[in-house]
Amino acid sequence: MLAITVISPVAFASEGEGVHNYATTFLFIAIILMMAKLSSLIERVGQPAVLGELLIGVILGNMVLLGINFFEPIKENPIIIFLAELGVVILLFQIGLESNIQKMKAVGFRAFLVASVGVIAPFILGTYLVGPWLMPGLNFSAYLFIGATLTATSVGITARVFRDLNKLQTREAQIVLGAAVIDDVLGLIILAVVSAIVTVGSVGIGLITLITAKAILFLVGSIIIGQIAAPRLGKLFAKINTGTGMKFTLAISFGLIFAFLAQKIGLAPIIGAFAAGLVLDPVHFRYFKDANIVKDLKENVKNSDEVTRKKILGILEPHADRHIEDLIEPLGLFLVPIFFVVTGMGVSLSTLANLPVLLVALGITVAAFIGKIVSGLVAGKVNKAVVGFGMIPRGEVGLIFAMTGKSLNVISDQVFSAIVIMVIITTLLTPPILTYLLKRKKMD
């Protein structure tokens, strides 16, 4: 008797399970992508495309309220959920590529201040004010967790808004990006501390030091090692093949490996991807040329006179070195909208119908807003409102905290729902507010 060999990924999932049928997943992806593009009509009224994607997601995700169940399976399709996650990883990688490490360093101190205030303020507001005030009589641990969920910024949405409005290179954008990285690290520490307090009753300084050291070591270490390794890897792989494919593969692998490392250490994978993008520099890919463009070029100028030929080649040859950003872009076009549409689909409008929960949620949301808006005040000579509101979106990290609280039996279902509503409101309100602030263009 022989073991059955699995030969084709197309034909088998695992032995005996039979033939794959991805037809529906293909269809869902096509629908998400086309709906996302349709929603870019929102740009006509001056709003960023990301808001359109979120809103079309909200619509698709709540069609069930009108009795239309067709889109429901998307929410639980594990492949689409993965593609969404890969999408936000690619987005932050792209944003890292477009960011400049020198510029980031220049705003480093301000970013640290903004991150610290933006973590401490909402934590205090949540733990000592909004928690005890709106939900009296709960255990102190519950208030601690509510405070903790308010700390970490979800930078994906803000980054998309800056990008959609072509403002990624502003000092405000750099501060928000830097602060989001730092507050993810701070959030990691807070989660560990709060969890230790709840489970053990106290927390040792040793544990805090260890977690902090690990996180800082990862960020600083990966940037230093990356800067050393990237040019060498580029040179090494260029010996095998100098084509566009090699350049693309090296870059994307770098991003994925950093995302892997970040997650392994307990940070969000998007932080790793952002760091990878920051480390990679066009100069690491100077050995790679796009063979097709070079061929096209040579062919096209063959019949020109000497002077014109030189001029044309002078203008065009830099283009032959296709920017790594251009190569990653189609992957982003494919994956990034999936993240935002699926995020929008997660907004269950029926949650908003429970009045007591909604009131608690609004209280938490106000704390979430105020806590981050004040962080903008320490951003220095920039548009403080842009920085403050840019820090407002909460997402996966806050929900991870809330889930941890639930699993420790500290957070009830009602409080959890209120936190989810807070995430929804910060997610949907930030794009229009930020757009308004950025278009107003007043520096205060």
Rg (the chain; Cα; Å): 24
Write down the least CB distance from residue 285 to a second copy, Å. 14
Task: Give the whole-angstrom CA distance, residue 56 versus residue 33.
Answer: 11
Nearest-approach distance from CB 185 to a second copy, in angstroms? 17
Spatial CA neighbour of 121 closest among 368, 390, 423, 361: 368
CB contact at 8 A, 91 and 339: yes
94 binds a second copy (CB under 8 A): no
Residue 205 found at the interface with a second copy (CB under 8 A): no
Using left for φ > 0, alpha for ψ between -120 and 50, and beta otherwise, residue 40 falls in alpha
**Whole-number minimum distance, CB 377 to a second copy, in Å?**
29
CB of 345 to a second copy, least distance (A): 8
Burial (CB count within 10 angstroms: exposed 0-12, middle 13-18, buried 19+), residue 268: buried
282 sits near a second copy (criterion: CB under 8 A) = no
State the nearest-atom distance from the C-beta of 376 to a second copy, in Å: 24
Q: Which is nearer to a second copy, 196 or 400 (CB)?
A: 400
Tokens 């806050």 locate to 398
417: contact with a second copy by CB under 8 A = yes
Provide CB contacts within 8 A for 306, sequence distance 6+.
Answer: none
Total residues in contact with a second copy, by rule CB under 8 A: 109
Q: How far is the CB of 383 from a second copy (least distance, A)?
A: 26
**How far apart are alpha carbons 84 and 203 in whole angstroms?**
36
Where do we find the tokens 């209120």?
418
Residue 65 touches a second copy, criterion: CB under 8 A: no
The residue count of the chain comes to 444
Nearer to a second copy, 35 or 115 (CB): 35
Question: Of the candidates 145, 162, 248, 288, which one interacts with a second copy according to CB under 8 A?
Answer: 248
Smallest distance from the beta carbon of 275 to a second copy, in angstroms?
14
First to last CA, the chain: 78
Q: Which part of the chain contacts a second copy (CB under 8 A), choosing from 2-10, 209-217, 279-287, 366-374?
A: 2-10
Residue 301 is a binding residue for a second copy (CB under 8 A): yes
Q: Is 288 in the site for a second copy (CB under 8 A)?
A: no
The reply to whether 109 sits near a second copy by the rule CB under 8 A is no
Q: How does DSSP assign 155-187, residue by residue?
A: HHHHHHHHHHTT-TTSHHHHHHHHHHHHHHHHH
18 near a second copy (CB under 8 A):
yes
331 to 370: interface string for a second copy, x by CB under 8 A: x-xx--x-x--xx--xxx-xx--x--x-------------
Closer CB to a second copy, 209 or 308, in the complex: 308
Residue 62 binds a second copy, judged by CB under 8 A: no
Pick the closer one to a second copy by CB: 17 or 444.
Answer: 17
Could you say whether residue 306 binds a second copy (CB under 8 A)?
Answer: no
User: Cβ closer to a second copy: 149 or 383?
Assistant: 149
> Among 5, 62, 30, which residue's Cα sits nearest to residue 428?
62
Dihedral of the alpha carbons of 149, 399, 260, 110, in degrees to the nearest 10: -30
